[in-house]
Structure 1
Amino acid sequence: MIMQGFRRRPAKMGWGISRLIGLKALVLLSAAYFVHGLGMKLLALPLVYACMIALLVSIASHPSIDLPLLLGKTSSGSFPLWSWIMFSPFLLFIHLFMLFRRFVKNEPLYTEIADGVYVGGWPSSVERLPPGEPAVIDCTCELPRSSTVTETSYLCVATWDTRAPQPSQIESAVRWAVRKRSQNKPVYVHCAYAYI
């Protein structure tokens, strides 16, 4: 029954993260070129840096490469200081994009797919978690563990948005979820957005 929560349902996923962030890199490079042409060379440097980071993320998130470890998210769901510094243009963009998307879209954050098993989007606050202090399986590599989730009730399965975890990661997560459900704890499996 818990395996149903891990099955991917057909959904319109659009361009995927590698194409979307690649497009962002192109826009940033164009902006840097334009600003440089106006004689503001110092202002062009941060744009070029943000472009390089976006290009790196676009390559690392491509399906043929699929390297979610690039961002350095730890098993506890946090990012080391070097990652926050190096990837700040991307990480800040993702956080702002999440806030904007939730403001604009009126989607349910989670759905109960079986008794005590929920799937949905990144819980930015305790109000966005399912009821019952659930154990959380985090399938994102670009968003940190919410401070409302304890480490003992948390499993990180670092995955790029619009990509699937590896079969071994799925098996490990299912075993972890079964243990949590045997303790009568609800389980919340989430990606970045609530595509259900």
Structure 2
Amino acid sequence: MTTERVIVGISGASGAALGVRIVERLAILPGIESHLVVSNAARRTLALECGPDTLDRLIALAQHHPIDDIGASLASGSFPVRGMIVAPCSMQTLSSIATGRTDTLLTRAADVQLKERRRLVLLARETPLHLGHLRSMVAATEMGAIIMPPVPAFYHCPSSVAEIIDHLAARAIDLLALPHPLLAKSWQGTR
């Protein structure tokens, strides 16, 4: 079995549980090697929203790269990966990606995905949106990113926030088109 590498970036927007669940789900998929980059603001959000030991749990599940390690393997297009998910993706991170600002490993790794024409999935977390947010989303999309606001699907009748988070994480992973069955419960139509 071939090992596929996936990068998960977690930025400081609310919704840290999305990034946590993506890392957890990737960790149990066979043949997947996860690489994790966490922004400084995300460290605080992870502790606040998910608990003080959350980052340590994630580091145990994925190869962790410090946010300021611009010389890490992820900073080069010669390091083959299947794609990258940024969850949640703050508007600051989205704006940096959309304008090619690569001053952290998270934004540099995202930039590499775009220049190498690899999948980059951005779970943009903000509401309501102003024109600057929308323009950044358009710019990132025009460069090849997939903008996936974490909008819940209710057709599978979730009974908890955890089920909503799990479905959104599965949808984001499915967008990478990894060589495994789809994770997210799909719409089967009405009967």
TM-score bracket relative to the smaller structure: under 0.3
Q: So what's the TM-score if we normalise by structure 1?
A: 0.25
Between Structure 1 and Structure 2, the one with more strand by share is: 2
Greater CA radius of gyration, 1 or 2?
1
Q: So what's the TM-score if we normalise by structure 2?
A: 0.25
Between Structure 1 and Structure 2, the one with more helix by share is: 1
